[in-house]
Every structure is written in structure tokens, then in C-alpha cells.
């Protein structure tokens, strides 16, 4: 039990360290100034979110193939954690945009795609609340999760093309903008720290889900008596 | 015209579990049904009869265990042919009786579908109403269509879930005659019934299910009448 | 019976059922008309910007209509458990999906083509010069909408709040279709000299990806 606390403390220190690095170690960016530092959290959260959704996708495939409840638990845990990181992305984007572009939401390609991604996984979670029987819920949400994940590259691609048809302000520099070596180091450290946080949260949520399922089984058996 | 030849198929259930959430609809059910046997499944509502039949039909996937089939006789290498009569009629209200049977006959690949459908409609006493929408039929007539649908491709296995539901005495008589004929042709029949009747008299074996497990089997010496007697105990 | 034969028979059933009552077609057409009229109240319909927005509004209307029209797809098979009868009768469960999505594509395309002249008149857009390309985009877009919609309607039919659930699941998923169809159609209505092939490419990619996914996973969607 205390081991979990230790791991949790370690993960939190990592995140704190990356925050420190973002504010104090990374050099100030020339054009944007202080607000650019939010990039380290914004982009790293996006990566962590996408990794979480990839874990969800694999869990979905495994559930459809093996039908073991643990894959369903992993899927929902990864989806929720991924959604949390994506929400951070959607909040930090506008925080950055306002001082730089003067408006909160510029319909930037990546941010818009992230919003659609957010909607897809919210739907995944909503679908789960609308199916009561556990095996049905697991199978149908896994299948929707698979369809949603397959859609993601198409969504990102289509929105990027749409934006080339109708250009608009880009959040935090397009794909061409480079990172100076120290910045790159801080960025990858943030990515590492947030991935550690992601893994920790998924494991915790998975444990919670397993407890919930056991409770549900006991309750159903009691009702049947 | 001669109906297609019936091929006899045996069924084997090995350690079948079916869970819905934490609840077991079937628990470690193992059963061997020999080719040509005619079995009655008895038991209270919720004892697992419907689940077992639907697993045999391939509509429900068991949580554990497996079902296997093997053809006996002339068509050994061929695919099994299963006919299923369920609680629901499984026919389209918005199509006529003839359109319904023709649809399923064509999907199943029945040879000379039109003639087969006409013959079955005649046997079921529905030939005069063949161009009426099923929506206009009485419950008993819909059940006849449902039974006719199950017979379309001369199945080697006939699974029936309370097939006499809604049938009038004439309909029940037709069902009994049909089952008798199928049994003579070697078809394996598994049916769930409530209590004794003209239909249950056709059975060569009876099995009682309770809470998802087999509790009595005439093959192991239990008495047929007591299995069928609908005791709530 | 082969996949093709089964699909043809089932498609016949879907078409016969619909053309007998025509309820789906008529309600869908009227719904799209209502949406187009309502849209016109939100801006000046005869202005230049209306012509720029026209394609987008048209496709939005199609998508909303589709998310309603596709609901009965599997709900229809529930009353007498006819879905089980189909599962028992076909050799490949994919035939059930193929037939339904072919029927849905046809119905969508029919409503779209019927509404195209009305749209052209209402928003003062000339469609004849690029008609064959417009029909192609309509087809590719409707096909994609049908594939995703048929698959998701099999899911939503088994959940609560299914009337709200299907649009909820379907509309975000169809983002690529909306974008690509709108861009291509818009360019066509603007009498641009070349077709937006990249957009057509996205439509084809969507159709291929989701048709393949449906082929791989369809039978699990039908499980009890």
C-alpha cells in the first residue's frame, strides 16, 4: 500500500521538476516571451493524451478478441486519463492564444482536431453509461472505440487540409518551428514526466475499476437472491 | 415435389458457462444429444432453457465451453442445417407470409425456393393468406409462419422454444405431425416445453434444468413424467 | 449462398420494405427542406456569402438528416427479433451490413438528388455545369455516411437514449466527410476549373477505412 504512495510521490516530483524546468531552466523565447513556456505542458499533454488513447485502442482490440474484463477496465481507464490530458490541451491552447493573437480560439488545425478527438472520447464514455449489462457495454464500447481511433488520422488530416484552404493563426508555431537544444531537453523531460503521470493515473484508475466491477457483481448476486 | 433430404446431426455441449455480468444463466452444462434424438427441456422460467437453445443455434456465444456438431449419414461433410423457433416470431410484419418465407428460403439457398415455400404454406394451412401481410395475422397464424420458416431447408437440427405458444388445437396437431415426420426422417429435435402435451409425447428423452444446471435426465434414470410435471419446488 | 447473392436478396427486402411505405424517404426529404429554410433565416440568402456557405449548409443538412434517418436501420429488426432470423439464415453476417448500407446509401443519394434542384433555386446556385462531379461527391460522401451510420446504428440500437445517441456518436466521426464534401462541393458550385482531388481522396480514404473496419468487426456488432 505504501509502495503506491512512494510511486505517486516520485511521479509528482517528476511533474514538479518538469514545471520548474519549464519556468526556470528553459530560456525565454524571443518573440512570445513568458507565455511560450506553457508550450511545455501543452504539447507534452497532447502527446500523453494520444498515448493514453493508443493504449485504449489496443485494450479495445484485445477485449474484442479475448473477451476478458480486464481489457475493458484498461480501456475505460486509459480513455478517462487521455480525456483529462486532452482537456488540459484544450485549456492551455486558448490561454496561450489570447496574449499572442488577441483571441482565445483561432480554429487552429491541431487544436480543432483535438477538440473533435475530445468529443469522440466523451461519446465513448457517454455510450458506456447508457448500456447496463457489463458484457454488452464492454463489447459495444470497445467496437466504438476502435472506430473512433481509426477516424483520428482522418480527422487530423482533413482538418489540416481544411486549414490550408482557409488559413488562420497557428497555435505555438507550425510544424516548421524549431526548438533550441535546452528547450528541446526541457520539452522531452516534460513529455517523460507527463507520461509517467499518465501511466500512474491509468494504473490507479484500473484498480478502481476492478473494485467497482467486483462490487457490481456482489450487488447483482445479492439482488438475485 | 419431394422436400430436401434431412440430414441427422448430433450436438455436444461441453462445460458450457453463460454469464451475464456476475450472474450465471448456465453453469457447467455438459450434454450429448445423439443424432435423431428428440429431447424435451423442462424447467421454470429463468432456468436457462432459452439460453441453451440460443447457444445451440449459434445466436449466443458461451462465456466458457464449446458446442460441436457432427453430421451422420449421407451428408457428413456438409454444413449443419439448423432450424430455430424462438419466443419471438422472427418474421417481418411488413411483408406477406409468402414474401417472408421466400426471403429466408433464398438466403438459405434452398433449391426451388418457390415450390418449397408453397408446399410449406399449404401444410401450415396458410396458403389462402399467403399474400396478406403478417401484421394482419393472429398470434397462432404468426406462429405457424415461424415454424414454417424453421423448416425451410430441411434442418438436421430443430430447436424449438415453447413452439406451441399461441397455437390452436389444429395448429398444435399440425406441429405434432410435422415433428413426428421430422423425427422419422432422422432430424435431431430439442424443444423446451411447459408440461405434458401432444408434443411432449414425441420425446425420447427429457431433461430438467434448474438455475442454469441440469438436475434430471431420463437417460440417467429419472422419470419422464416427473420431469415434465411443472413443480415449483 | 454466396455473400453477393445474400446481399442482393437482403437489399431487395430493404428496398421493398421502404418503397412500400416510403416513410423514411418522405420524412427525410421534408426534414432537409425544413433545415434549408431555417438556415436561410440566419443570413441573407441571396447575398454572395450565401453562395459561399451554401455547400456547407447543404452537407450539414444531409448529415443531420442522415443521423435521424439511420436510426430505424437496426431498430426495425428488433420487434420480432428478425435480426436473429437473418443471422441464422445468411452464410456471412457481413451480407446484412452490406445490404443495409447499400440501401441507406441509395436512400440518402435519392433524397440528395431530389433536393439539389430545390437548393439551387433557393440559394441561386448553378449546378448543371458540374453536375456529374457533384453526383460523384454526393455518392462518395453518402457512402461514407452510410457505412459509419449503419455500423453505429447497430451499436445505438442496443443502448438507452438511442434517439440522441446515434447523432452523438455519428456526427464527430463524420468530421472528415463533412469537411471534404463541403470543400469539393463548394469548389464545384463556384465553377472552379479543377476538381479538388485531395478532398475526393479523403472521401475515398474514409470509405475504404470504414468499410474494411466494418468487414472485420461487423459480426461482433450483431452479437447478442
pLDDT bin (cut points 50, 70, 90) of residue A175 is very low
Residue appearing with cell numbers 440417467? B220
pLDDT bin (cut points 50, 70, 90) of residue A177 is low
Residues in C touching B57 (Cβ below 8 Å): 84, 88
Query: What is the ipTM for the molecules in this complex?
Result: 0.92
Any idea which of A124-133, C7-16, C171-180, C190-199 has the lowest mean pLDDT? C190-199
Q: Cβ–Cβ of B93/C16 closer than 8 Å?
A: no
| Shortest CA distance from A217: residue in chain B | B22
Residue A195 pLDDT > 90: yes
Task: Give the pLDDT mean for C84-99.
Answer: 95
Task: Give the pLDDT mean for C143-153.
Answer: 97
DSSP state for residue A29 in the 8-state scheme: B
Ranges of chain B whose pLDDT falls below 70: 1-5, 73-78, 230-233
Q: ∠ CA B186-B188-B191 to the nearest 5 degrees? A: 135
Residues in C touching A119 (Cβ below 8 Å): 172
Residues in B touching C89 (Cβ below 8 Å): 104, 107-108
Round to whole Å and give the CA distance between C139 and C142.
5
Residue C164 pLDDT > 60: yes
Please, how many CA atoms are within 13 Å of residue A130, restricted to the half-sphere of its CB? 22
Q: Cβ–Cβ of C13/B82 closer than 8 Å?
A: no
Q: Cβ–Cβ of C80/B58 closer than 8 Å?
A: no
The domain ranges of chain A are: 2-224
| Whole-number percent of chain C with pLDDT over 70 | 100
Task: Give the pLDDT mean for C176-191.
Answer: 91
> Which of A6-13's residues contact partners 24+ apart within 8 Å by CB, and which partners?
A7/A200, A8/A200, A11/A193, A11/A196, A11/A197, A11/A200, A12/A197
Give the tens place of pLDDT for each residue, C59-79. 999 999 999 999 999 999 999
Looking at the complex, report in whole angstroms how far the Cα of residue C50 sits from the nearest Cα belonging to chain A. 17
List residues of chain A with CB under 8 Å from any CB of chain C. 64, 116, 119-120, 123, 126-127, 130-132, 136, 139-140, 143-144, 146-148, 150-151, 154-155, 157-159, 161-162, 165
Interface test with C, best of A53, A123, A138 (most C CBs within 10 A): A123
The domain ranges of chain C are: 3-221
Q: What pLDDT, on a 0 to 100 scale, did the predictor assign at position B232? A: 42
Q: How would DSSP label each residue in C83-128?
A: HHHHHHH-SSTHHHHHHHHHHHHHHHHHHHHHHHHHHHHHTT---G
In B, residues 22-81, which contact A (CB 8 Å cutoff)?
A: 22-23, 63
Average pLDDT, chain C: 91
Q: What pLDDT, on a 0 to 100 scale, did the predictor assign at position B233? A: 40
Q: What pLDDT, on a 0 to 100 scale, did the predictor assign at position A20? A: 83
Interface test with A, best of C172, C202, C218 (most A CBs within 10 A): C172
Q: Cβ–Cβ of A220/B19 closer than 8 Å?
A: no
Q: Cβ–Cβ of B58/C1 closer than 8 Å?
A: no
Give the tens place of pLDDT for each residue, A58-92. 999 999 999 999 999 999 999 999 999 999 999 99
| Whole-number percent of chain C with pLDDT over 90 | 70
A116 closest CB neighbour out of C158, C172, C213: C172
Q: How many residues does chain B have?
A: 233
Among A97-106, B50-59, C125-134, the range with the most confident prediction by mean pLDDT is B50-59
Average pLDDT, chain A: 89
Q: What pLDDT, on a 0 to 100 scale, did the predictor assign at position B4? A: 65
Q: What pLDDT, on a 0 to 100 scale, did the predictor assign at position A125? A: 96
Among B185-194, C15-24, C141-150, the range with the most confident prediction by mean pLDDT is C141-150
Q: What pLDDT, on a 0 to 100 scale, did the predictor assign at position C140? A: 97
Higher pLDDT, A130 or B6: A130
Interface test with A, best of B19, B20, B21 (most A CBs within 10 A): B21
Strand order in B8-20's β-sheet? B23-33, B8-20, B64-72
Amino acid at each position: 500500500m505504501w509502495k503506491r504512495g512512494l510511486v505517486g510521490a516520485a511521479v509528482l516530483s517528476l511533474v514538479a521538476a518538469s514545471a520548474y524546468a519549464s519556468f526556470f531552466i528553459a530560456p525565454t523565447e524571443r518573440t512570445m516571451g513568458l507565455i511560450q513556456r506553457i508550450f511545455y505542458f501543452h504539447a507534452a499533454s497532447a502527446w500523453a493524451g494520444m498515448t493514453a488513447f493508443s493504449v485504449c485502442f489496443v485494450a479495445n482490440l484485445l477485449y474484442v478478441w479475448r473477451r476478458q474484463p480486464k481489457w475493458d477496465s484498461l480501456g475505460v481507464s486509459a480513455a478517462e486519463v487521455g480525456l483529462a490530458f486532452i482537456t488540459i490541451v484544450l485549456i492551455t491552447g486558448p490561454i496561450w492564444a489570447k496574449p499572442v493573437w488577441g483571441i482565445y480560439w483561432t480554429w487552429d488545425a491541431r487544436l480543432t482536431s483535438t477538440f473533435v478527438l475530445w468529443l469522440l472520447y466523451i461519446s465513448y464514455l457517454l455510450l458506456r453509461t447508457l448500456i447496463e449489462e457489463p458484457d454488452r457495454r464492454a463489447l459495444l464500447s470497445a467496437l466504438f472505440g476502435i472506430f473512433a481511433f481509426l477516424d483520428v488520422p482522418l480527422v487530423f488530416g482533413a482538418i489540416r487540409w481544411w486549414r490550408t484552404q482557409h488559413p488562420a493563426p497557428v497555435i505555438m508555431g507550425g510544424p516548421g518551428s524549431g526548438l533550441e537544444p535546452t528547450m528541446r531537453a526541457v520539452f522531452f523531460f516534460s513529455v517523460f514526466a507527463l507520461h509517467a503521470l499518465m501511466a500512474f493515473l491509468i494504473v490507479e484508475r484500473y484498480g478502481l475499476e476492478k473494485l467497482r466491477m467486483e462490487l457490481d457483481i456482489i450487488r447483482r448476486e445479492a439482488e438475485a437472491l | 415435389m419431394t422436400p430436401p433430404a434431412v440430414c441427422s446431426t448430433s450436438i455436444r455441449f461441453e462445460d458450457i458457462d453463460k454469464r451475464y455480468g456476475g450472474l450465471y444463466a448456465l453453469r457447467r452444462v455438459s450434454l450429448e444429444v445423439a443424432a435423431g434424438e428428440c429431447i424435451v427441456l423442462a424447467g421454470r422460467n429463468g432456468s436457462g432453457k432459452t439460453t441453451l437453445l440460443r447457444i445451440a443455434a449459434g445466436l449466443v456465444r458461451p462465456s466458457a465451453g464449446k458446442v460441436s456438431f457432427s453430421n451422420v449419414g449421407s451428408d457428413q461433410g456438409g454444413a449443419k442445417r439448423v432450424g430455430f423457433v424462438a419466443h419471438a416470431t422472427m418474421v417481418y410484419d411488413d411483408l406477406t407470409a409468402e414474401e417472408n418465407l421466400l426471403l429466408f428460403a433464398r438466403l438459405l439457398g434452398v433449391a426451388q425456393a418457390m415450390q418449397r415455400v408453397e408446399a410449406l404454406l399449404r401444410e401450415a394451412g396458410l396458403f389462402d393468406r399467403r399474400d396478406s401481410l403478417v401484421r394482419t395475422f393472429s398470434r397462432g397464424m404468426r406462429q405457424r409462419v415461424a415454424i414454417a420458416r424453421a423448416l425451410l431447408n430441411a434442418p438436421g437440427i430443430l430447436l424449438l422454444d415453447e413452439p406451441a405458444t399461441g397455437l390452436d388445437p389444429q395448429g398444435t396437431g399440425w406441429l405434432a405431425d410435422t415433428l413426428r415426420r421430422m423425427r422419422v426422417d432422422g432430424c435431431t429435435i430439442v424443444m423446451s416445453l411447459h408440461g405434458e402435451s401432444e408434443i411432449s409425447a414425441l420425446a425420447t428423452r427429457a431433461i430438467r434444468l434448474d438455475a442454469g444446471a441440469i438436475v434430471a435426465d431420463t437417460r440417467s434414470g429419472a422419470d419422464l413424467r416427473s420431469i415434465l410435471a411443472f413443480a415449483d419446488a | 449462398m454466396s455473400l453477393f447473392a445474400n446481399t442482393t436478396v437482403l437489399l431487395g427486402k430493404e428496398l421493398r420494405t421502404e418503397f412500400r411505405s416510403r416513410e423514411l424517404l418522405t420524412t427525410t426529404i421534408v426534414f432537409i427542406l425544413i433545415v434549408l429554410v431555417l438556415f436561410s433565416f440566419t443570413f441573407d440568402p441571396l447575398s454572395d456569402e450565401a453562395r459561399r456557405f451554401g455547400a456547407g449548409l447543404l452537407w450539414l443538412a444531409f448529415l443531420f438528416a442522415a443521423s435521424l434517418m439511420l436510426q430505424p436501420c437496426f431498430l426495425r429488426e428488433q420487434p420480432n427479433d428478425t435480426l436473429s432470423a437473418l443471422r441464422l439464415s445468411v452464410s456471412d453476417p457481413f451480407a446484412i451490413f452490406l445490404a443495409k448500407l447499400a440501401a441507406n446509401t441509395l436512400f440518402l443519394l435519392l433524397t440528395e438528388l431530389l433536393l439539389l434542384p430545390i437548393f439551387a433555386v433557393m440559394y441561386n446556385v448553378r449546378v448543371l455545369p458540374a453536375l456529374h462531379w457533384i453526383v460523384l461527391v454526393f455518392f462518395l460522401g453518402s457512402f461514407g455516411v452510410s457505412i459509419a451510420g449503419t455500423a453505429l446504428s447497430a451499436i445505438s440500437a442496443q443502448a438507452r437514449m438511442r434517439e440522441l445517441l446515434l447523432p452523438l456518436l455519428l456526427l464527430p466521426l463524420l468530421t472528415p466527410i463533412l469537411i471534404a464534401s463541403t470543400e469539393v462541393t463548394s469548389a464545384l458550385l463556384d465553377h472552379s476549373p479543377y476538381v479538388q482531388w485531395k478532398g475526393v481522396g479523403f472521401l475515398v480514404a474514409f470509405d475504404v477505412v470504414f468499410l474494411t473496419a466494418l468487414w472485420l468487426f461487423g459480426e461482433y456488432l450483431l452479437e447478442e
